[in-house]
Structure 1
């Protein structure tokens, strides 16, 4: 098993309506430099990576604990760049994450896209545990290589797993495994002429029978405006809604995520769009 080459463990608490980073431990090349005050008393957190990207055999571990009524936005400073998996040099790059949200915690976990370089192998596993009344908004975008270098679908393997529990009850799980050399990713019913993949998730007991339709309506208006994307909306077993999208450019999928995110903030949580400082 690959050794851990970078880690972050962070704990957040809330008191008097204000959220603070209670405790943070990190190991190079990952760290949390500082936190920022966002609107609505939300705490902004940026994860820094001092390396040029994930090398063959690297393993990142991120553990997040959000205390009762914590209000936190988490992202990272730049794309996660996955370098080639060199034979005999440790195999795949791995990232493991765990998010625990206590009662009433509200978390937006919106990392920058993952870029899979030629010959890259990347495995991602994320576990989420929600207490009653907690809410998680999360997204991810996957790029199929450095297109300006002609690396379209030249990575070796991409594997991803997301599992969500409401207390001890599993309410959602997804698994993806892409191996371009072993399958025709551009065949009908797969990516076709699309290249980039995005997912947007919301888990909250505020989700009702109209939430899926609300998101579909917001995305239909976006696509009717000429956006070159393909989107679908589905539901978890309970308290969850998922947007899946295909596109040809990161910027188009970022707009899909922004459209869904804005609708969710407005309709479910009564909040205006969040303008994230870059």
Structure 2
């Protein structure tokens, strides 16, 4: 769990002054078959955080039916801003990938989400050559009121 701008850990300042930039990294330059990555963020009241990547998220080929997955859960405090602006996901040939992002905001919280994918590695002749891409984005207000429930499913099976 990463706490951003909480009184217990680190006070950066109100959102109009500073932003904490968080870069996610993967070992070996990408996600391999069967990987499961989970991250939880808590954005303190009045704070600003940007979650991003240094490059596209590369999802390597799957072995058998193994699916690689990422899960992000975030709580956004009162008057806080969270911007999730990663580079796109690039699924290699035969890759199977699933991600779920759950955001819990308050009525005066702010959230920006970018969720995007490339069609593959064009220079290698891979265009829409992955087996599965699933992306779920859910936003809840005041913990339990759903305001946005979205699923994108791209699969060779259909």
The two structures have a TM-score, normalised by structure 2, of 0.89
Detail structure 1 runs of 4+ shifted over 6 Å in the superposition.
Answer: none
Identify the residue that residue 137 of structure 2 maps to in structure 1: 162
Deviation at 1:134, TM superposition (A): 0.5
Structure 1 unaligned blocks of 5 or more: 1-8, 21-38, 184-278
Identify the residue that residue 62 of structure 1 maps to in structure 2: 39
CA deviations on 1:253-272 (whole Å, 9 max, x unpaired) are xxxxxxxxxxxxxxxxxxxx
| Distance in 2 of aligned mates of 1:45 and 1:54 | 19
2:62 pairs with 1:85: yes
Q: Secondary structure at the match of 2:123?
A: helix
Identify the residue that residue 73 of structure 1 maps to in structure 2: 50
After TM superposition, the structure 1 = structure 2 runs for residues 1-278 of structure 1, keeping only pairs within 5 Å, are 9-13=1-5, 19=12, 40-87=17-64, 91-167=66-142, 168-179=144-155, 181-183=156-158
The two structures have a TM-score, normalised by structure 1, of 0.52
Deviation at 1:148, TM superposition (A): 0.5
Deviation at 1:56, TM superposition (A): 0.6
CA deviations on 1:21-77 (whole Å, 9 max, x unpaired) are xxxxxxxxxxxxxxxxxx842222222223221111000101110011111122111
Identify the residue that residue 247 of structure 1 maps to in structure 2: none
| Distance in 2 of aligned mates of 1:182 and 1:93 | 17
- 69-78 or 58-67, which moves further after superposition? 69-78
CA contact (8 A) 1:14 1:69 kept: no
Identify the residue that residue 23 of structure 1 maps to in structure 2: none
Larger RCO (CA under 8 A, 6+ residues apart): 2
Structure 2 unaligned blocks of 5 or more: none
| Distance in 1 of aligned mates of 2:25 and 2:6 | 24
Q: Residue 107 and residue 117 in structure 1: after superposition, are their counterparts in 2 closer, same or farther (change >3 A)?
A: same
Q: Please tell me whether Structure 1 or Structure 2 has the larger radius of gyration of its CA atoms.
A: 1
CA contact (8 A) 2:67 2:98 kept: yes
Higher helix share: 1
CA contact (8 A) 1:102 1:131 kept: yes
Deviation at 1:14, TM superposition (A): 5.5
| Distance in 1 of aligned mates of 2:126 and 2:52 | 26
